[in-house]
Structure 1
Amino acid sequence: MNNKYIYVNNKKIGPGEPTYIIAEISANHNGSLDRAIELVNLCSESGVDAIKLQTYTADTITINEDSEIFTIPGEGLWGGKTLYELYSEAYTPWEWHKTIKDTANSLGLDMFSSAFDKSAVDFLDKINVPAYKIASFEVTDTNLIAYAATKNKPLLISTGMANISDIDNAMKAVKGVNDSNQVLLFKCVSSYPAPPEAMNLRTIPYMSEIFNVPVGLSDHTLGTEISVAAVSLGAVAIEKHVTISRNDEGPDSKFSMEVDEMKDLVDQIRNVEKGLGNIFFGPTSSEKSNLQFQRSLIVTQDMSPGEIFTGENLRSIRPGFGLSPIFLDQIIGLKASKEIVRGTPISWDMISG
């Protein structure tokens, strides 16, 4: 497997292509299909490329158990809830998926989802998603990854918490099914929200190099800066959780990006793409009109034929209509071949030995 590009609905994703921007709805529907559809519409207006869901039920991802190991510790966002309680609240009903997908597709957006078990893989295949996402917490489930790979669709795999061996095992699980399968890895920090100092964005080009696949960023930080920086370092896809308002009481609201912020992010990324450009030296088209204001050699005192050029009567100043300043030392000590008026840009026909 050695492919720095993947194709989602014939959209090419990889180096030199527009950054593929994914709006993760996750639990921000807050239990309402109407709200989910509203989010899709708002995300379309923000300029994203794709909508992503999460496909599980509480029973496919955990069991209903309230012992200590099944309870989220601490005072954080989900602290004190059992896993079953959290996932019962956060899941997206499977019967909504096709409606959300049809809405997204009607707006020109891709729609795919994170599959958390084999039944989710099969369900998503039936509604013809163009790709599968594997979440960070499932990156070590090589059986799930291998099963998703049997569908011969692009796999987008998040790598939060994963070491190089974990990622390598995930890649081998895909390769063991079909060496031609398309994979995109996401650099990710599985904290909610993630602190900027934990992001280690310089891993992105290194990850792409050692695994020979395109790499994006699944970004759980607040704000836009980290995603924009990732694009400048070579991230080819950005995934951000999105909500209508962080003041909502949904399980994912507090670390999600509001829709107007998503539009700002899309605009910033598109500007960064323009700014990255290509390897280039010389005046750009926007600079050419300013070449006249570069320094050049200008006669600064009236000169008679035969008069010697000195540092007083020939200087490197603006504007840029004379010979280049690199010739100054070569011309000093030579003679004027004709009468030259102060303010004249010097040219070779005005100089004699």
Structure 2
Amino acid sequence: MTVKIGNREVGDTCPCFIIAEIGINHNGSLELVKELIEVAKAAGCDAVKFQKRTPELSTPPAQRDLLRQTPWGIIPYLEYKKKIELSREDYREIDRYCRALGMIWFASCWDLPSVEFIEQFQPACHKVASAMLTNRELLLALRDTGRPVILSTGMSTQQEIDNAVELLGKERLLLTHSTSSYPCPPAETNLKMIGTLRKRYGVSVGYSGHEVGLQISLAAVALGARLLERHITLDRAMWGSDQAASLEPGGLNRLVRDVRIIETALGDGVKRVYDSELSKRLSLRGY
């Protein structure tokens, strides 16, 4: 089964769809957003992704008034969440900029108004963040857009995933295996879940990684991940909760390069004798 996202087919018979997760690593700066889009484009990524929230709805009440040290000083958590949200004008420019570069973009919406907001830009698909997998109203709203949905499965039980898949349907669904810790220790990435999810649901499965380094993401592709998502940043030392689990430009370049090499190396599973082997076959076997 394949699902079309923008001008790309995503599925078991297609090249791995590589998503650069900008998320909230822009810290509310449109200038930084554009730099990160350029980094993703230069590396050869297929898409960039953002996170869209209505802070008054998505911030837990108990957290709203907690003070937090931020680039804007010590402010309540709710105010911080507002400052890192991009405006309608910012998203218009993101849409224009990505279209000019031929880059697919979409977002994880955390509440119903955010779905309506992102829909005005006719995104190629929608992403469900792991934290929102049990939000029935949100899943229904995303399903009803008629667009492809990528469902991330971190911090979720098997039964919760079953319920979400049943609600969304499988026709335009892609799953990503994920573990929602930042950064994620290797022993908790459990990459064999990629095969488990594919077998259980019969849809194409990818991997959304929050680990440090490249090895685990590359192993995920070798194990059959058909889409791959990693957070990106200009500098892992920058302020922000997701920066430490992100890839800097050099790391992103190596990731995309190595994914494409692995795809070539995996081949088709049909045994053959290659032309490059013939001379050695002749010298060692005599025929």
Shift of 1:118: 1.2
Q: Which letter maps to 1:28?
A: N
Structure 1 residues 194 and 225: CA distance shift in structure 2, 3 A: same
Provide the rounded CA distance (Å) in 2 between the counterparts of 1:249 and 1:149. 35
CA-to-aligned-CA distance 1:89-134 (integer Å, 9 cap, x gap): 5433343122112212221211000011111111111111010000
Per the alignment, residue 155 of structure 1 pairs with: 149
* TM-score normalised by length of structure 1: 0.75
SS at match of 1:294: helix
- 242, 251, 256: which one aligns with 1:266: 256
Q: Are residues 1:139 and 2:133 paired? A: yes
Overall identity of the aligned pairs, in %: 32
Per the alignment, residue 70 of structure 2 pairs with: none
- Aligned-pair Cα RMSD in Å: 2.2
Of 58-67 and 112-121, more deviation after overlay is shown by 58-67
Provide the rounded CA distance (Å) in 1 between the counterparts of 2:202 and 2:76. 39
Provide the rounded CA distance (Å) in 1 between the counterparts of 2:47 and 2:238. 23
Of 88-97 and 16-25, more deviation after overlay is shown by 88-97
Moved over 6 A (4+): none
Q: Are residues 1:250 and 2:240 paired? A: yes
Q: Which structure shows the bigger proportion of residues in helix conformation?
A: 2
Provide the rounded CA distance (Å) in 1 between the counterparts of 2:6 and 2:15. 15
Provide the rounded CA distance (Å) in 2 between the counterparts of 1:66 and 1:290. 68
Per the alignment, residue 290 of structure 1 pairs with: 280
Shift of 1:290: 2.4
Residues 271-350 of structure 1: matches in 2 within 5 Å?
271-295=261-285, 320-321=286-287
Q: Which has the higher contact order (CA 8 A, sep 6+)?
A: 2
Alpha carbons 2:54, 2:114 under 8 Å: kept: no
Provide the rounded CA distance (Å) in 2 between the counterparts of 1:141 and 1:44. 32
Provide the rounded CA distance (Å) in 1 between the counterparts of 2:275 and 2:104. 36
Q: Are residues 1:45 and 2:42 paired? A: yes
CA-to-aligned-CA distance 1:283-320 (integer Å, 9 cap, x gap): 1133223222223xxxxxxxxxxxxxxxxxxxxxxxx2
- 166, 191, 216: which one aligns with 1:172: 166
Per the alignment, residue 186 of structure 1 pairs with: 176
Shift of 1:204: 0.3
Per the alignment, residue 123 of structure 2 pairs with: 129
Per the alignment, residue 230 of structure 2 pairs with: 240
- 104, 108, 127: which one aligns with 2:98: 104
Alpha carbons 2:54, 2:113 under 8 Å: kept: no
**Residue ranges of structure 2 left out of the alignment (5+ in a row):** 68-73
Provide the rounded CA distance (Å) in 1 between the counterparts of 2:261 and 2:88. 37
Number of corresponding residues: 282
Q: Are residues 1:209 and 2:199 paired? A: yes
Provide the rounded CA distance (Å) in 1 between the counterparts of 2:241 and 2:190. 26
CA-to-aligned-CA distance 1:148-167 (integer Å, 9 cap, x gap): 10010000010101111111
Of 283-292 and 232-241, more deviation after overlay is shown by 283-292
- 18, 21, 29: which one aligns with 2:18: 21
